[in-house]
Amino acid sequence: MDDSVLSGGGSALPASLELSDLAEPLLVRTDAAFRVLDWAGDPAVYDFSLEAGQDIRAAMKFLVGLDGFESVTFPMLWVDGNRPIHVSVMAQPQLGQAYVLLSDANATDMADLNLRRQVEKNEIVEYRVSQLETELETAKKEAAQASELKSRFIAGMSHEFRTPVTSVLGYVDLLEKDYGRDDRRLQGIRRSATHLLSLVENLLEHGRVVADRIEPVEEEVNLRRLFESIYMMFEPLAQQKELGFEISDQGCACEEIRTDPVRLRQIIVNLISNALRYTESGTVAVTWSQGNDRLRVAVADTGPGIPEDKRRQIFQAFSSLEDEHTRAKGLGLGLSISQHLADVLGGDIELRSTVGEGSVFSFEVRAPGVLAVNVAPPEVQAGQRRILVVEDDMDVREFLAVILADLGYAPTLAINGQQALDKLASMSPSVVLSDFHLNDISGEKLIHDICAAGTPVIAMSASNAEADRNAAFEAGCSAYLVKPFDLDVLSRELERAMHG
């Protein structure tokens, strides 16, 4: 320590060394023989009077017998019957010096008492915290048990509800045969029953999600039929709300896929149901495509849109965006369940939305195609001739299916070249009517392979290019029809191809 730090009279004690006012410390520096060098603090507080060079033991009798080479502490001393003091002697033999520190022991006692009180208070708090933790743990267990009971109850009730609601829908089907699908009374019953069934299904599924009990049950599914049935399900509701509603494919490499049809359907139904519920005007458009063993579905609406800060929330259970602008009501389970189901099917739901313009919910799930080699050809009635139609455009394929059936043929449809070759062997068609521009196999190769199997082919294309026509004939086709073709020409060419 710098000698100038403690100057005689104690006036130079730096602020950083100031102790509590209560302790009123007196710090005295001495040499090894306890002669006072300087001090800080007021010696009069302790009824001492100090002078530089004085042997401190003359004033502080309690130091008699000690020297400046030994550190010692007196926790409590009574000096001349006055207040108790605390004394520490800190020897620094290497410097030939010692420090003697006096402080008011009452203040120290008080500090100790306060410390003890604080420790006791902490112990009480800790005890209380541990009690609360125990109570919390018990409450959590009770809540988990209550939740389990609630889930069982909901699952049980949902199951009990589903059976009669399904029955109601069955009777609606029967009544529609007599009264037609346009009967508004039946539309009302169907709409309500469908909504109720959807709620019940979601409650059931939520119970499974909570219990983490969903295992996909895969089977072969015809995508086109699946989407057709979904269209039939929602079309009345869209009509009632005067909304545009359409479902269309954007390319389908294979319409027969393997997936869990119940869960896939549920995701699509939930997304469409939400879109129709929240859209008050405009359109709900569903697009789907299948390729590379994946199914992609997008549901676009012209509803109010979803604000950025709500997009995470709406995927949580029992959460929905009902406000004064919508009359929509729901449990807020659909998206939460759909997200979980998409995950089960190997995918994820994405959301793009613009407030005031609408939203697009899309997802992509695993959907390996099943080559329809084991699909039984349609039953052929007497006088009907089998015809294999190869066309990758749904609009054209459906058109031809109606025309050919009406012309007395039994059409089997293939959506690409590979499916056509697979079906060729099992159905032995009288003739093949094939698009010339397919995505998976070139028209020339397909015509060549089919002709090589002994079946005549009529090629069709939107292209009237000479090069395409020549290529088709060189590959072996019997006729080349440019779309749109006259049905008389089609009929004539089919007869000609079959007879020779």
Rg (CA), the chain: 46
Distance of closest approach, residue 296 Cβ to other proteins, in angstroms: 13
**C-beta closer to other proteins: residue 207 or 417:** 417
From candidates 187, 462, 469, 498, binder to other proteins by CB under 8 A: 462
One-character DSSP codes across 364-397: EEE--B--GGGSPPPPPPTT-EEEEEE-S-HHHH
225 counts as binding other proteins under rule CB under 8 A? no
**C-beta closer to other proteins: residue 54 or 491:** 491
Segment near other proteins (CB under 8 A), from 205-213, 418-426, 435-443, 444-452? 435-443
**C-beta closer to other proteins: residue 132 or 402:** 402
495 counts as binding other proteins under rule CB under 8 A? no
Residues 21-80 that bind other proteins (CB under 8 A): none
**C-beta closer to other proteins: residue 317 or 405:** 405
Distance of closest approach, residue 439 Cβ to other proteins, in angstroms: 7
Segment near other proteins (CB under 8 A), from 5-13, 303-311, 327-335, 480-488? 480-488
Distance of closest approach, residue 246 Cβ to other proteins, in angstroms: 5
User: CA 239, 245, 251: angle at the middle one, nearest 5?
Assistant: 155
Asked whether the beta carbons of 11 and 90 are under 8 A apart, the reply is no
Closest alpha carbon to 13 in 23, 33, 28? 28
**C-beta closer to other proteins: residue 63 or 285:** 285
440 counts as binding other proteins under rule CB under 8 A? no
From candidates 48, 74, 161, 399, binder to other proteins by CB under 8 A: 399
Place of tokens 């000690």: 66
Place of tokens 């499916």: 419
Helix (H) or strand (E) holding 145: helix 105-179
209 counts as binding other proteins under rule CB under 8 A? no
Distance of closest approach, residue 419 Cβ to other proteins, in angstroms: 17
Judge residue 301's burial from the number of C-beta atoms within 10 Å of its C-beta, 0-12 exposed, 13-18 middle, 19 or more buried. buried
**C-beta closer to other proteins: residue 258 or 469:** 469
From candidates 395, 428, 474, 495, binder to other proteins by CB under 8 A: 395
201-220 burial: b if 16+ Cβ within 10 Å, else e: bbbbbbbbbbeeebebebee
Segment near other proteins (CB under 8 A), from 125-133, 162-170, 341-349, 397-405? 397-405
Closest alpha carbon to 336 in 447, 202, 193? 202
Residues 241-300 that bind other proteins (CB under 8 A): 244, 246, 248, 250, 283, 285, 287
Distance of closest approach, residue 346 Cβ to other proteins, in angstroms: 25
Distance CA 127, CA 145 (A): 27
Asked whether the beta carbons of 221 and 365 are under 8 A apart, the reply is no
393 counts as binding other proteins under rule CB under 8 A? yes
Closest alpha carbon to 455 in 390, 364, 373, 365? 390
Distance of closest approach, residue 451 Cβ to other proteins, in angstroms: 22
Binding mask 401-430 for other proteins (x = CB under 8 A): -xx-xxx-----------------------
Residues 353-392 that bind other proteins (CB under 8 A): 392
Asked whether the beta carbons of 246 and 206 are under 8 A apart, the reply is no
Distance CA 234, CA 241 (A): 11
Distance of closest approach, residue 400 Cβ to other proteins, in angstroms: 8
- Please state, as a whole number, how many other Cβ atoms lie within 10 Å of the Cβ of residue 196: 16
Distance of closest approach, residue 146 Cβ to other proteins, in angstroms: 48
Distance of closest approach, residue 450 Cβ to other proteins, in angstroms: 20
**C-beta closer to other proteins: residue 9 or 244:** 244
Max Cα–Cα distance, the chain, nearest Å: 142
**C-beta closer to other proteins: residue 39 or 234:** 234
484 counts as binding other proteins under rule CB under 8 A? yes
Segment near other proteins (CB under 8 A), from 97-105, 140-148, 156-164, 458-466? 458-466
Could you tell me whether strands 457-461 and 479-482 are parallel, antiparallel, or unpaired per DSSP bridges? parallel
Cα-Cα end-to-end distance for the chain: 122
35-47 burial: b if 16+ Cβ within 10 Å, else e: ebbbbbbebeebe
Amino acid making up residue 482:
V
Closest alpha carbon to 23 in 40, 7, 6, 37? 40
491 counts as binding other proteins under rule CB under 8 A? yes
Binding footprint of other proteins, residue count (CB under 8 A): 30
**C-beta closer to other proteins: residue 103 or 353:** 353
Note the residues at the interface with other proteins (CB under 8 A): 244, 246, 248, 250, 283, 285, 287, 392-393, 395-396, 398-399, 402-403, 405-407, 435, 437, 439, 461-463, 483-484, 486-488, 491
